[in-house]
Amino acid sequence: METFVIGLSIASILFIVALGLAIVYGTMKVINLAHGEMVMIGAYVTVLASKHLGLSIYSCLPLAFLVAALFGLAIEVLVVRPLYGRLLDTLLATWGIALILQQLIRIHFGFALFGIQIDGLGSDLQNVPVPAELQQTLHVLGTNIPVYRTFVFGVAVVLGLVSWWLIYKTRFGSQLRAVSAARNITAACGVNDKRINALAFAYGSGLAGIAGVLVSGFKTVSPDMGAPYVIDAFLVVVAGGVGHLLGTVLSAGILGEVQSFVATWSNDVYGRTVLFAVVILILLFKPQGLFVSRNR
């Protein structure tokens, strides 16, 4: 039961990161390898905000969303946009950005070169204080459930609902879906597809930023923490089927639980190995993903 709850929180993080990636990938067919760094940025926003501004983890959620979204917007406009249609090249360019962002944290945004150190940056591991009410443990039906894990789950549910509303109920969402189904025709109908791309990229990055805040509560924060997320999240997107919100939810759930159960049963490495094997099997038997999008 406890394993299930932990799995649920892993799945929640995975879901939030993957949702961002899925929106970007679904719209532009671009994989942002710096997506994991958006998680890292979100985590560092939390570290810096709690150290220097005394903000709690709650107020960091919108702040990290904004900061990561701005980074995402900048990346889209400066690097991704000139590379439309060159998907593999985008992969390399965004990896380069990931390198730059990691190193900027390590050298204190460059201030370290002039001997200035900023508390909370650098290559060391950082910890974030978690509010007391989130540190408690609930006792339900004879099992211990950490409140923080349920908080993570709650945030994921809210973000999932917000994203659903955004994608299926708003004007932006219908334009977004139209662009991912048929870009040229949508553009011909008068939709500014570049604007949609930029917004989608910013929103996806912002989601990753929120995931970063949540992660910082139960893992140490370091400059290279982001890299594993982008791969896991991509596997979730692939397994769930591109362009399908429910697919992303379910595959994040399945993969998160699989990882958590195998990890408690043996260890984390085998957890990830099995995760990878499951995704390969899914790709083998359902190359379109578990849930095929019926957009067209």
Partner 1 sequence: MKERTITFAAYLLFFAVVFALPLALNSFWTNRIAVYLVYAICAVGISLSWGYAGILSLGQGLFFGIGAYMIAMSLTLAVPDNNPVPQFMLLNMEPNALRDLCCVTPGSFLWEPFRYLSIGILAGIVVPCVIAAALGYVMFKRRTSGVYVSIITLALALIGQMLIINNQPLTGGFNGLADLAPLSVGGVEFDPYGKSVYYLVAAVLLIVVLLSRLVVSTRLGHVLKAVREDDSRVRYLGYNVESYKLFIYCLSAAVAGVAGLLFAVTSEFASPSLMSTSFSISMVIWAALGGRGSLLGACVGALIVNFIGSVASENAALQPVWPIVLGLMFVLVVLVMPEGIAGIAKSWVAKPRQPRSLKEVTQ
| Closer CB to partner 1, 49 or 233, in the complex | 233
One-character DSSP codes across 10-59: HHHHHHHHHHHHHHHHHHH----TTHHHHHHHHHHHHHHIIIII---HHH
Bridge partners of 280, per DSSP, are: none
Smallest gap from residue 174 Cβ to partner 1 (A): 26
The count of other CB atoms within 10 Å of the CB of residue 277 is 12
Please choose, out of 5-13, 51-59, 94-102, 195-203, the segment that lies near partner 1 by the rule CB under 8 A: 94-102
Regarding 118 and contact with partner 1 (CB under 8 A), the answer is no
d(CA 182, CA 50): 44
Q: Is 124 in the site for partner 1 (CB under 8 A)?
A: no
CA dihedral sign of residues 160, 48, 131, 123: positive
Q: Whole-number minimum distance, CB 253 to partner 1, in Å?
A: 20
Contact 255, 279 (CB under 8 A): yes
Do the strands 137-140 and 143-146 form a parallel or antiparallel pair, or are they unpaired?
antiparallel
| Residue 272 interacting with partner 1 (CB under 8 A) | yes
Name the residue nearer to partner 1 (CB basis): 55 or 91.
91
Window 10 to 29, contacts with partner 1 (CB under 8 A): 29
191, containing H or E segment: none
Nearest Cα residue to 38 out of 60, 58, 66, 78: 66
Looking at the Cβ atoms of 33 and 43, the one nearer to partner 1 is 33
Does position 116 interact with partner 1 (CB under 8 A)? The reply is no
How many other C-beta atoms can be found within 10 angstroms of the C-beta atom of residue 187? 15
Residues 230-249 contacting partner 1, CB under 8 A = 231, 234-235, 238
Shortest distance, CB of residue 286 to partner 1, whole angstroms?
10
Q: What Rg value do the Cα atoms of the chain yield, rounded?
A: 19
Task: Output 147 or 231, the one with its CB closest to partner 1.
Answer: 231
- Comparing CB distances to partner 1, the nearer of 8 and 23 is 23
The contacts of residue 42 (CB under 8 Å, 6+ apart) are 64, 65, 67, 68, 208, 209, 210, 211, 212, 213, 215, 216
- Interacting residue with partner 1 among 112, 166, 181, 292 (CB under 8 A): 112
Is 104 a binder of partner 1 (CB under 8 A)?
yes
Our CB check for partner 1 shows the closer of 110 and 131 to be 110
Binding to partner 1 in span 57-86, by CB under 8 A? 79, 82-83, 86
Q: Judged by CB, which is closer to partner 1: 157, or 280? A: 280
Question: Which stretches of the chain bind partner 1, using CB under 8 A?
Answer: 29, 31, 79, 82-83, 86-93, 95-100, 102-104, 106-107, 112-113, 227-228, 231, 234-235, 238, 267, 269-270, 272-273, 276, 279-280, 283-284, 287
